[in-house]
Structure 1
């Protein structure tokens, strides 16, 4: 299985990089795992709706260029479906049994995901109504993917 996270912006904080690296190392026994960073679009602090749409569109193009046709895409979106850890694990297991072995999770930039990225996604996933920094979300998501594999293995890690 191949699992990929596409995130907008460069991760700068060492503690986040270290956490992601630790879970990435643990995930290696279950799947080929990679994190792809696409550049964020530089924009002024105060944006009009048209400028926001333009920023999201440019970031969206960069994201879509990293997704292949055969990939099953989870878009992280506030309006997405909330899942428990067990539900995510079951969904990953079901996808693997169905032959979907290329899973891609997409985390947008500070403005969210372009409509084109949402449209390309097979499903939308939400981690609740909290607003979290997208850099922190990469670590949380990586841990939850690892947790899903551990649940599917029957490991006590999940408890």
Structure 2
């Protein structure tokens, strides 16, 4: 299976890059992983809803360029469905059985995802009702995908 992460913005902190590299290396045993970063837009302080919407749409256009027709697209959204680690593993496994060989996880920028990206989404996933920095979310997502593969393969993984 191919797992693609399409994310907005660059990772600036070395410790986050190191963690992403570590989970990418671990995941290479289980799937083909591709990580795509699209440029983020500068969001002015006190931006109006209209300006924020324009920013989300611009970032969304960049994201959509990388979402192929055959990809099953999972967007990370606060309002999405919350799953346990076992349920995420089951979701990924069932997608493979149903013939989806390519899954794209999409993490938006600091103000969320544009309308067209949300329309393209096949599944909305939430990790929490809390808001996390989008850079940290990459690490959390990669760890959970890795944990999913360990669960699917019946391999031990710390609880």
In structure 1, C-alpha distance between the alignment counterparts of 2:80 and 2:131, rounded to whole Å: 13
What does residue 104 of structure 2 align with?
104
Does 1:134 find its partner at 2:134?
yes
Uncovered stretches (5+) of structure 2, i.e. residues with no partner: none
Post-superposition offset of 1:157? 1.1
State the 1:115 CA deviation. Answer: 1.4
- Map 1:18-97 to 2 at 5 A: 18-97=18-97
8 Å CA contact retained: 1:9, 1:37:
yes
Q: Deviations over 1:95-149 (max 9, x none)?
A: 0011101000000001101111111010000001111100000000000000000
**Aligned equivalents of 1:104, 1:11: Cα separation in 2:** 19
Q: How far apart are residue 43 of structure 1 and its match?
A: 2.7
Is 1:147–1:158's contact at 8 Å kept on the other side of the alignment?
Answer: no
1:13 maps to what in 2? 13
**1:25-55 superposed Cα distances (whole Å, 9 cap, x missing partner):** 0111111102110000123112011101100
In the alignment, structure 1 segments of 5+ residues that lack a partner are: none
CA distance in 2, matches of 1:44, 1:139: 26
Distance of 1:81 and 1:152 partners within structure 2 = 20
| Length-normalised TM-score, structure 1 | 0.98
CA distance in 1, matches of 2:158, 2:120: 31
Query: How much does 1:14 deviate?
Result: 0.5
CA RMSD of aligned residues (A): 0.8
**Number of residue pairs matched?**
159
1:52–1:111 contact (8 Å) kept in structure 2 = yes
Contact 1:56 1:114 in 2 (8 A): yes
Moved over 3 A (4+): none
